[in-house]
Every structure is written in C-alpha cells, then in structure tokens.
Amino acid sequence: MLSLALAWGAAWLAGRRSSTRYTYGYKGATIQAALLNAALLYAALGFILWETVDHFRHPAPVNGRTVMLLAGLGIVINGFTAWLFRHGQKSDVNVRGAYLHMLTDALVSAGVVLGGALVMWTGWTWLDPVLSLGILAMIAISSWGLLRDTLRLGLQAVPNGIDLAAVQAFLLRQPDVVSVHDLHVWSLSSGDHDTALTAHLVRPGGADAAWLAQLAKGLETEFHIHHSTVQVEDGPTPGGCASGCSDAGHPVAHATSASH
C-alpha cells in the first residue's frame, strides 16, 4: 500500500501549478517516487530472501491450509490492483513502480500457495524456500529495468527512445543553422510527454518568432519534445564573433529563446 500511496501522492503533486520557487512545477515528484518505489521493491526482496534463507536453516511446520487461504486472498487483491495499472505502467515509470510492487506481492502469494500445496502433497518442506528463491530471482531480473530507468531519470539522462545525435542532426538541417552547442534533452517527469530540450544554435542574422515556433513544432512532431528552449546566436565573422563572445568563446549576440 505504501507504493500506491507514493505513486498517487506524486501524481497529485505533479498536477499542481508551478511557483516562483518551483518554476518547473512538481512534476519531478513522480521521478522521486519512482526511484523510492524501486528502492523499496529491492529492499522487500532482500527481506524475503533473508526469511527464505532462514527457512532453509531452520525449517518449521506451518498450517498449510491457513497459509494457502491467506495467500490466495493476496493473489486476488494484489493481482487485481496490478491489472488496474497494466496500461499506465507502459508509459510512466512512477506507475510502473506501483505496478511491480503489486505484481511482486501477487507472485509471492502464488509461490506460497504452490509451495504449500506441494509440501502438503509430498511432505518435502524444502520445496517452499526453493520456490521462493526462484520467484525472487524472476522478480529481481524483471524489476531491474525499473531501477535503471528511474536512476537515468534522476540523473537527467536523455530519455529512452530519443537519439541525441538525431536531434542534433535535425537542428543542423534547419535553414541557415551553422552549428549547435550546449544541447541538452531530459525528462521533467516520469511520463513520456514531459521531455524538455535546451540548445544554442549559431545562425547568421538571428531568428524571428515564426522561425522559432516552426522549430519548436518540428521538435514536437519528430521527437515528441514538448518543452523546447532555443537560444539563437549570430555566426562568427572572419575577425571573430559577431557582437561579442561568452567566456567559452561562443557568440552571444541577438539571442532569442522560444519555448513550447
């Protein structure tokens, strides 16, 4: 339930308006929640692994019918909750974190039911922890993508599905653009529709609002980048910069930005 509370709380924060302090709004809360959910998931797996190993060392008889009944109830509740999240988890790692938690609980419960039935049938008490180890390994492997993706989001990496070289090539194909530098693409939230871009384009003569608006539309159409900010700079003259340079040597005259 904690994973659901984290996911829903982050989604609620993401819907709040931006402020003078949080100028991007609170969309990043979904990234933090997804990362925390991934950490909690692996912590839970570690705890279950510890209990499984202890069961190997100190096997003890259990009331198989009662355990199977309770575990069966867990399959129904957690399985149904995971089913509700099945579509949203494909495009949002925050939702995927909650989905994997519910799916993990359902699978563990299924392992308990299967293990209990086999132990009752065969009397082999070692079957239960062996099944638990197999389920834990399967969950750990399938959940690795969640941990990897949330770490990438937290480090503002280029989102999956976007080729930075292709974005740079697209910008260089724009009329009269000489070069591109300081290009950054990252996700503002855990969803697929909050990708941002900032870039500096060297273009002799600068750019007007219509050109910038067309560029922003092209980035959205080609790469699903919905928030773009572009600074256009005059190209260098034979004697150096058009109207002055930054400390790094980049021309900074006639800078214009566009955001969409």
Helix 127-154 and helix 28-57: axis angle, to 10°?
Answer: 160
Phi, psi of 172 (to 5 degrees): -70, -20
Name 186's bridge partners. Answer: 196
Number of H-type helices and E-type strands within the chain: 7, 3
- Higher-confidence residue of 44 and 210: namely 210
Count Cβ atoms below 10 Å from residue 139 Cβ, excluding itself. 21
Mean pLDDT of 44-62: 77
CA distances for 129 relative to 49, 132, 165, 221, angstroms: 9, 5, 49, 52
Domains of the chain, earliest start first: 2-154 (1.20.1510.10), 157-260 (3.30.70.1350)
Phi, psi of 228 (to 5 degrees): -120, 140
* pLDDT interval class at 166 (50, 70, 90): very high
* pLDDT interval class at 91 (50, 70, 90): low
- Higher-confidence residue of 150 and 201: namely 201
* pLDDT interval class at 90 (50, 70, 90): low
pTM of the shown model = 0.64
